[in-house]
C-alpha cells in the first residue's frame, strides 16, 4: 500500500532565527519513497543538511523575521504488515551486547534510570527475560499512564510520568525505555508518522508519534507502550536516546508556533 505523509508548521519570528530540524524521513525508508519529502519553506531560504550522531538526516536554516512556514509532502510505499512480534527473542547479556547498543543502556535527559532502577527491579525482576520482559514493561506502562493531549508537557521526564500517571505518547515511550534500560535491555526513542489505518474510529487529531525500539537477540524490535498492539504503517523519522535527541525543531531565538498540521493517510494515489 502507499501512505501519504507530511506536515505544515507555521512560525512567527520577531528576528532572523536559526533552526535545526529533524523532520526528514529516515534513511532506512529511502527506497520506499515514491515522492520524496522535500522540505519546502515560505518564504524560501537556503537549507543545509547533515547527519547527526545517530544517523538522522537533519536540516539547518535561518528563518526570516515575520511569518514563516515549513512543509513537506511525501508518498511512501509500505508493506502493510504490522509490527513484528517475536516472543522467542532472547535478552542478550550486557557483556555480549554490540558496542553500538551500549549508549542505549545509559540514563538520558528524559529517562532517569538511576531514579527508576529499584522500581523496575521490584516490578519486573522476577519475570522472564527477553521479549516477555519488554512486553510486561509495555503492559505496565500502558495501564499506568492515562493518555490525553491535554496532559502534554514537553519537559516531563520518565520519573515524572511515573509519578503523575498521565501523558502523551512520548511519555509512554520514555517510561518504557527507562524501565528497559534499568533491566539491562538497550532501548532507543523513535519519532515518526503513524496513522489510524487498521484501528477503530473515532480518530484523534493527527500528530507525530513516539514509540521505542528494544534490542533483543541480535536486532532491534519495535514496541509501542501507548498503543500496546502491533500497528501498520509506521514511517520512521528519527531515533535517539530520548526525545531530546530527535526534537522536530530546535530554534535559537524567540518565536511563536502559529500553526501545526500533520497528515498520514493511506492513499490510492500512484
Regarding whether 113 and 67 lie in a shared domain, the answer is: no
What mean pLDDT comes out for the span 55-76? 98
What pLDDT score does 199 carry? 84
Regarding whether 158 and 202 lie in a shared domain, the answer is: yes
What pLDDT score does 129 carry? 96
Regarding whether 208 and 155 lie in a shared domain, the answer is: yes
Q: Is the pTM for the entire model greater than 0.85?
A: yes
pLDDT digits (tens, 9 = 90+) for 165-213: 999 999 999 999 999 999 999 999 999 999 998 888 777 778 999 999 9
* CA gap 63, 66 in Å, rounded: 9
Q: Kindly state the cell numbers that stand for 266.
A: 493511506
Q: Is the residue at 88 inside a domain?
A: no
Average pLDDT value over all residues in the chain: 96
What pLDDT score does 270 carry? 44
CATH classification at residue 172 = 3.10.620.30
Range of the domain at 31: 2-79+248-267
Regarding whether 232 and 112 lie in a shared domain, the answer is: yes
* CA gap 158, 243 in Å, rounded: 11
Amino acid at each position: 500500500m502507499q501512505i501519504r505523509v507530511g506536515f505544515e508548521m507555521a512560525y512567527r519570528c520577531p528576528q532572523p532565527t536559526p533552526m535545526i530540524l529533524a523532520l526528514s524521513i529516515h534513511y532506512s525508508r529511502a527506497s520506499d519513497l515514491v515522492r520524496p519529502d522535500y522540505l519546502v519553506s515560505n518564504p524560501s531560504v537556503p537549507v543545509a543538511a547533515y547527519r547527526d550522531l545517530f544517523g538522522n538526516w537533519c536540516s539547518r536554516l535561518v528563518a526570516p523575521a515575520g511569518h514563516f512556514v515549513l512543509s513537506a509532502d511525501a508518498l511512501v510505499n509500505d508493506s502493510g504488515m504490522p509490527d513484528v512480534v517475536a516472543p522467542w527473542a532472547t535478552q542478550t547479556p550486557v557483556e555480549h551486547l554490540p558496542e553500538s547498543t551500549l549508549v542505549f543502556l545509559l540514563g538520558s535527559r528524559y529517562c532517569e534510570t538511576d531514579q527508576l532502577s529499584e522500581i523496575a527491579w521490584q516490578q519486573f525482576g522476577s519475570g522472564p527475560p527477553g521479549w516477555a520482559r519488554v512486553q510486561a514493561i509495555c503492559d505496565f506502562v500502558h495501564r499506568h499512564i492515562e493518555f490525553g493531549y491535554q496532559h502534554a508537557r514537553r519537559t516531563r521526564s520518565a520519573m515524572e510520568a511515573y509519578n503523575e500517571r498521565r501523558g502523551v505518547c512520548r511519555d509512554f515511550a520514555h517510561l518504557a525505555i527507562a524501565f528497559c534500560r534499568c533491566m539491562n535491555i538497550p532501548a532507543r526513542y523513535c519519532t515518526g508518522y503513524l496513522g489510524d489505518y487498521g484501528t477503530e474510529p473515532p480518530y484523534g487529531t493527527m500528530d507525530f508519534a513516539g514509540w521505542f525500539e528494544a534490542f533483543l537477540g541480535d536486532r532491534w524490535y519495535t514496541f509501542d507502550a501507548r498503543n500496546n498492539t502491533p500497528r501498520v504503517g509506521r514511517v520512521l523519522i528519527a531515533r535517539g536516546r530520548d526525545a531530546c535527541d530527535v526534537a522536530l525543531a530546535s530554534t535559537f531565538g524567540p518565536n511563536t508556533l502559529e500553526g501545526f498540521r500533520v497528515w498520514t493517510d493511506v492513499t490510492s494515489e500512484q
